[in-house]
Amino acid sequence: MAVTLVNPEGLPKPDVYRQLSIAQGSRLVFLAGQVARDAEGNKVGEGDFAAQVEQAYLNVATALAEVGGSFDDVAKLTIYVVDWNAEKYPLLGEGVARAAAKLGVDPVKPITLLGVAALGEPDLLVEVEATAVLD
């Protein structure tokens, strides 16, 4: 694995993400934001925030597998959430946990979470963008 996750001394140590990642590899992978669409482009989890988070994470893993990587190679995630509020926090965790269970991975990564007014299509509630490092 080319990515080591760290919570440095002197910074908070959150359970749900890490403050930084140290990447050692020869290939950087910049993955476009992934949304709640299956391989055929069909909507997944319409109106269900947790289901959309799960599908977006699964899509990140699918894309990385295509180039010889896995979710373990993710160095950083950026998550865009429509109309973010505190009530969505447990649903975000639920969707991430379900995807992690299916993938058999630890989903804890450095994350930037941004609340946005809208995404590219009106039914989308979340988009997950990833940067990965492969050996």
Per-residue pLDDT band at 30 (split at 50, 70, 90): very high
What pLDDT, in 10s, does the model give residues 95-106? 999 999 999 999
For the purposes of burial, counting CB atoms within 10 Å of the CB of 121, is it exposed (0-12), middle (13-18) or buried (19 or more)? exposed
R_g over Cα of the chain: 14
Residue 124: pLDDT over 90: yes
What is the pLDDT averaged over residues 29-42? 96
What pLDDT, in 10s, does the model give residues 48-89? 999 999 999 999 999 999 999 999 999 999 999 999 999 999
In sequence order, which residues have a C-beta less than 8 Å from that of residue 58 and are 6 or more positions away? Answer: 99, 102, 103
A 10 A CB-CB count for 26 gives 8
Average pLDDT, the chain: 95
Residue 1: pLDDT over 70: no
Its pTM stands at: 0.90
Domain boundaries, the chain: 28-134
Is domain 28-134 in CATH 3.30.1330.40, yes or no?
yes
A 10 A CB-CB count for 99 gives 23
